[in-house]
Structure 1
Amino acid sequence: MSIKFLAEDDRPREKFLLKGRSSLSDSELLAIIMGSGNRDETAVELARRILASVNNNWNQLSLLSVKDLMKFKGVGEVKAISIATALEIGRRRAGQEVPEKAVISSSRTAYEIFRNHLSDLRTEEFWAIFLNRSNKVIHFTQLTQGGINQSIVDVRVLFKTALDHFSTGIIIAHNHPSGSLQPSREDIEITKKIKIAGETLNIQLLDHLIITQNSYFSFSDDGLL
Structure 2
Amino acid sequence: MTEKGASFSIKNWSQHDQPREKLRDKGKAALSDAELVAILIGSGTKAESAVALSKRILASTDNNLSELGKLSIKQLTAFKGIGEAKAISIIAALELGRRRRGADALERKKITSNVSVFELMQPVIGDLAHEEFWIVYLNNSNKVIQKNQLSKGGITGTLVDVRLALKTALEVSATAIILVYNHPSGTLKPSQADKDLTTKLKTAGQSLDIKVLDHLIITENAYFSFADENLIT
What's the TM-score once normalised by structure 1's chain length? 0.55
Query: How many angstroms apart in 2 are the aligned matches of 1:118 and 1:104?
Result: 18
For 2:207, what is the secondary structure of its paired residue? helix
Equivalent residue for 1:112?
119
Q: Residue 182 of structure 2 aligns with which residue? A: 175
Tell me the equivalent position of 2:207: 200
Residue 226 of structure 2 aligns with which residue? 219
Alpha-carbon shift at residue 140 of structure 1 (Å):
0.9
Q: Conserved in 2, the CA contact under 8 Å of 1:111 and 1:216?
A: yes
Whole-angstrom CA distance in 1 between matches of 2:223 and 2:167: 27
Contact 1:198 1:204 in 2 (8 A): yes
**Alpha-carbon contact 1:207-1:219 (below 8 Å) kept:** yes
Matches within 5 A, 1:40-119: 102-119=109-126
CA distance in 1, matches of 2:108, 2:219: 26
Q: Which residue of 1 aligns with 2:129?
A: 122
Which of 172, 179, 184 aligns to 2:191? It is 184
Map of 2:52 onto structure 1: none
* 1:142 has 2:159 as partner: no
Structure 2 letter corresponding to 1:187: D
The offset of 1:101, in angstroms, is: 6.3
Instruction: Tell me, in whole angstroms, the C-alpha distance in 1 between the residues paired with 2:195 and 2:130.
Output: 19
Describe the SS at the equivalent of 2:221.
coil
Matches of 2:158 and 2:124, distance apart in 1: 15
Q: TM-score scaled to structure 2, two decimals? A: 0.53
Identity %: 50
2:205 aligns to what SS in structure 1? helix
The aligned counterpart of 1:55 is none
Give the distance between the partners of 1:195 and 1:152, measured in 2 at CA: 17
**What is the CA-CA distance between 1:224 and the residue it aligns to?**
0.4
Task: Give the structure 2 partner of residue 159 of structure 1.
Answer: 166
Residues 175 and 212 of structure 1 are in contact (CA less than 8 Å); yes or no, is this contact kept in structure 2?
yes
Secondary structure of residue in 2 paired with 1:201? coil
**Distance in 2, Cα, partners of 1:199 & 1:205:** 9
Deviation at 1:126, TM superposition (A): 0.3
CA contact (8 A) 1:101 1:138 kept: no
In 1, the alpha carbon distance for the partners of 2:159 and 2:219 equals 17
How far is the alpha carbon of 1:124 from its aligned partner?
0.4
Query: How far 1:191 sits from its partner (Å)?
Result: 0.5
Q: 1:123 to 1:167 in 2, by over 3 A?
A: same
Preserved contact between residue 155 and residue 194 of structure 1 (Cα < 8 Å): yes
Q: C-alpha displacement at 1:141, in angstroms? A: 1.2
Runs of 4+ in 1 over 4 A off after TM superposition: none
What is the DSSP-based 3-state SS (H/G/I as helix, E as strand, rest coil) of the residue aligned with 1:160? Answer: helix
What's the offset of the Cα at 1:100?
Answer: 6.8
Q: Retained in 2: the 8 A contact 1:170–1:206?
A: yes
Choose 1 or 2 for highest CA Rg. 1
* Cα distance, 1:157 vs structure 2: 0.5
Residue 186 of structure 2 aligns with an amino acid whose one-letter code is: G
Aligned length: 127
Gaps of 5+ in 2: 1-105
Residue 142 of structure 1: how far off its partner (Å): 0.8
